[in-house]
Amino acid sequence: MPEHGSVPSLASTLQQQLTNALTAALPDAGAADPLLRRSDRADFQANGILALAKKLKGNPRELAAQVTAALPAGGLIKDIEVSGPGFLNITLSDRAIVETLAARAADAEGRLGVPLKAEAGTTVIDYAQPNVAKEMHVGHLRSAVIGDAMVKIMEFTGERVVRRHHIGDWGTQFGMLIQYLIEHPGALKHEGGASDGEAAMSTLNRVYKESRVLFDSDEEFKARSRDRVVALQAGDPETLELWQGFVDESKIYFHSVFDKLDMEIADADIVGESGYNDMLEETCRILEETGVAVRSEGALCVFFDDVKGPDGNKVPLIVKKTNGGYGYAATDLSAIRNRVRDLKADTLVYVVDVRQSLHFKMVFETARRAGWLNEDVKAVQLAFGTVLGKDGKPFKTREGVTVRLEDLLDEAVDRATAVVRDKAGKVGLSEEEIVENGRYVGIGAVKYADLSTSAVRDYKFDLDQMVALHGDTSVYLQYAYARIRSILRKAGDAVPAAHPELALAPAERALGLHLDQFGEVLSEVAQGYEPHKLAAYLYQLASHLTTFYDQCQVLSPDNAPEVVENRLFLVELTARTLHRGMALLGIRTPERL
């Protein structure tokens, strides 16, 4: 077996055989692409001969016949039909399908034969960016869920991934919060323990609201707060200690939310705005000295020919404000320098709201002009759309307030637990299993609804739809997995075993061919940062499984033992693929549902 237990897909093997046959039959053709694709007329169709015939001024059907004759007989290909102007309709042999799947199942590393990238790079992925002393809302959900899935997928394909959570932990509001704490000692103390996220957030919320009221109503307090910002930026020890208190309290809350999301966030990966403070002045100096940024009305700005306001004037990226304060751009540009220079990244991925696209376009272009991004180092915004309510408007409460993320997750788990409980009697789940599976189904439903939508599109947050047992939902996929595990438990002495000598029924062939595409889909998802394509693949896999169940009974006493074993082999490999694919999306697959 190849290195790392990787198994070439049927499509890649066929592609290679066709390319070799084209070269042998048409030595004058040069590098020829057979343009292979899946087909509903056969397993695959090769359309490249028509273009080659035009290039060589030959008859396409005659060229197709020559290519067909040059293909190896037996083995991979069962049948080739030349149709239309030289299209090749290719049907693979049942033996080749089963043998390839058997090699995937035998992969000792548990990767299902999925290859690692030939040349791994280092990607820094910036996602899940909450703000200190503020509650997380539904907008943070998309960044966290999409980012977490991309980290898992890219690592699985062999990329070195550095996680970064760029939290909002700096700025003028901290002057107000710290000054309030100095004047109201003990305001951050609360009843809950050190791991009580709800208590921590409730306290932070109260302090934030009370200090904001004071800030807006008391000019003297406002002046003291502004002085406190200066002290914070200057590194005054007492001010920094109180600021750290807000950060630590917020992290307790962050971790409680990410725990609910069944997501691991390590403290070492949390490098907020404050982490780049020491670099800001140097970043500005480099930009000004190299002429990338220029002074305009006292501010340090970068201008772009294609970025203009409604008045037709150029809108700049402000790196340093007129009053000497630093804009978000200074922090973002310093982060790029750090990630490229110190973390040795060759790709930077930002999982950020599509509404920030202009800002990041300007930041990336500035970094290119400065030489921090170049042909070898690229930056990408994985932009995501807005979460909408059932009414198609941005998701808010009836009072028009942004929905708290924790409330949303709790409701999803409650709904899912009711669905699990409704069916629990049939499979004999204990109360403990009902609660645990309810959590996995609820959180899985929220993640899948997000990930099954192309990231850049808005999507409607509809819990009724998310926890539905039918349709394109994670619950449907989780039940498909649990159903296979149930069949395997009922199989008795029969064990999954591949039998390449057997003829496959149409539903078996369709399931087998789809299973074989797993690695190719993962490669495409990792390259294009498109987790929705993995979700679509898994839904199609579960759909193929449903058709298979309808048409091919697995444990029928009428089946010969080798047919039972082969069908158990197919469903067991399907279960492993579903389990692996769902795990890469951050979704659990319970053994019993």
Please write the tens of the pLDDT for every residue from 21-68: 888 887 776 677 888 999 988 999 999 888 787 777 788 888 888 889
Within a 13 Å sphere around the CA of 366, how many CA atoms are in the beta-carbon half?
33
Residue 376 has pLDDT above 80, yes or no: yes
Among the residue ranges 292-301, 385-394, 507-516, the one predicted with the least confidence is 385-394
Average pLDDT for residues 162-183, to the nearest whole number?
92
What are the backbone dihedrals phi and psi of residue 168, each rounded to the nearest 5 degrees, phi first?
A: -80, 95
Higher pLDDT, 386 or 196: 386
Share of the chain above pLDDT 90, in %: 69
pLDDT band, very low/low/confident/very high, at 212 (cuts 50, 70, 90): very high
CA–CA dist 147, 142 (Å, integer): 8
CB atoms within 10 A of CB 149: 26
Residue 195 has pLDDT above 70, yes or no: no
Share of the chain above pLDDT 70, in %: 97
What are the backbone dihedrals phi and psi of residue 235, each rounded to the nearest 5 degrees, phi first?
A: 85, 25
CB contact set of 206 (below 8 Å; sequence gap of 6+): 187
Question: Residue 28: exposed, middle, or buried by beta-carbon count in 10 A (0-12, 13-18, 19+)?
Answer: exposed
Is the separation of the CB atoms in 384 and 146 below 8 Å?
yes
CA–CA dist 349, 122 (Å, integer): 11
Residue 443 has pLDDT above 70, yes or no: yes
Average pLDDT for residues 513-525, to the nearest whole number?
98
Q: How far is CA 278 from CA 245, 340, 421, in A?
A: 21, 17, 54
CA–CA dist 262, 241 (Å, integer): 31
Is the separation of the CB atoms in 78 and 64 below 8 Å?
no
Most confident of 176-190, 244-258, 274-288: 274-288
- pLDDT of amino acid 585: 98
Residue 1 has pLDDT above 50, yes or no: no
Question: Residue 486: exposed, middle, or buried by beta-carbon count in 10 A (0-12, 13-18, 19+)?
Answer: middle
Please write the tens of the pLDDT for every residue from 413-431: 999 999 999 988 888 999 9
- pLDDT of amino acid 2: 42
Q: Between the CA atoms of 295, 296, 299 and 302, what dihedral angle is there, to the nearest 10 degrees?
A: -70
Among the residue ranges 230-234, 365-369, 488-492, the one predicted with the least confidence is 230-234
Question: Residue 187: exposed, middle, or buried by beta-carbon count in 10 A (0-12, 13-18, 19+)?
Answer: middle
Residue 584 has pLDDT above 50, yes or no: yes
- pLDDT of amino acid 346: 97
What are the backbone dihedrals phi and psi of residue 430, each rounded to the nearest 5 degrees, phi first?
A: -75, 170
Average pLDDT for residues 426-455, to the nearest whole number?
95
